[in-house]
């Protein structure tokens, strides 16, 4: 899609006002085209979603999407396509996660509210706690997980950790906020939350204080 020089100059002015940085015409043109293309992709995704929801009215239990496209399961995040997909009111899922929903191993709320649970890898993302440590917490009973079985092997396909199952030890997911770096670019950071009940750092600190007092 072509964007006129006039619109590019308007984009330059808006960018300058918002971020305090001057863009060349080429930089502004590239950024404007990227933005338009991004919204074009979003529009196509929205149209496809409307079509799926219309089909769901006729097939309320759900259906496979045999269109050759690759999708992402909203729970385990695996890439799936054709007969591996299942779409219903909970959104797009792989067959492993869908079966776990059908058998009520996991609640439907995990599909619509990703702030209600953690995946194993998110502990590293939010708290810098590596996966082996999280699995150790699970083995020792410090964390309770929900295991989604693999339909073919019966072993674990993936594990998720619901906050409601661990409400006395796990905090809610940290909220994000935007900050501007020294180059004037905007990126997201996450607020700090107390995870001492999980890591035991608070108890260790108290033990050291008591030990120091007794010296």
Q: Mind listing the pLDDT tens digit for each residue in 61-99?
A: 999 998 999 999 999 999 999 999 999 999 999 999 999
In angstroms, the CA 145 to CA 147 distance is 6
Whether residue 104 is predicted with pLDDT greater than 60 in this model: the reply is yes
Sheet holding 63-72, edge to edge: 63-72, 79-88, 91-94
pLDDT over 50 at 195, yes or no: yes
CA dihedral angle for residue 126, residue 190, residue 115, residue 36, rounded to 10 degrees:
-110
Q: What is the pLDDT of residue 16?
A: 84
Please tell me the distance from the alpha carbon of residue 137 to that of residue 169, in angstroms, as a whole number.
11
> Which pLDDT score, from 0 to 100, does residue 209 have?
38
CB contact at 8 A, 196 and 170:
no
Asked if residue 133 has pLDDT above 60, the reply is yes
What's the confidence (pLDDT) of residue 201?
58
Instruction: Say whether pTM exceeds 0.85.
Output: no
């Amino acid at each position: 899609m072509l964007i006129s020089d006039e619109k590019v100059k308007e984009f330059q002015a808006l960018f300058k006002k918002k971020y305090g940085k001057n863009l060349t015409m080429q930089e502004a043109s590239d950024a404007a085209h990227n933005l338009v293309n991004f919204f074009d992709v979003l529009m196509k995704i929205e149209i496809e979603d409307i079509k799926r929801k219309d089909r769901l009215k006729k097939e309320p239990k759900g259906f496979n999407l045999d269109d050759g496209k690759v999708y992402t399961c909203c729970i385990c995040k695996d890439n799936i396509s054709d007969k591996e997909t299942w779409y219903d009111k909970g959104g797009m899922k792989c067959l492993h996660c869908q079966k776990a929903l059908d058998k009520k191993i996991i609640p439907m709320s995990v599909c619509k509210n990703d702030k209600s649970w953690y995946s194993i890898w998110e502990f590293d993302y939010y708290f810098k706690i590596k996966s082996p440590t999280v699995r150790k917490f699970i083995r020792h009973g410090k964390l309770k997980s929900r295991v989604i079985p693999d339909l073919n092997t019966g072993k674990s396909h993936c594990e998720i950790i619901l906050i409601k199952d661990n409400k006395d030890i796990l905090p809610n997911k940290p909220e994000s906020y935007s900050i501007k770096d020294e180059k004037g670019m905007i990126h997201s950071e996450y607020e700090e939350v107390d995870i001492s009940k999980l890591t035991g750092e608070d108890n260790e600190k108290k033990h050291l204080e008591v030990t120091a007092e007794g010296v």
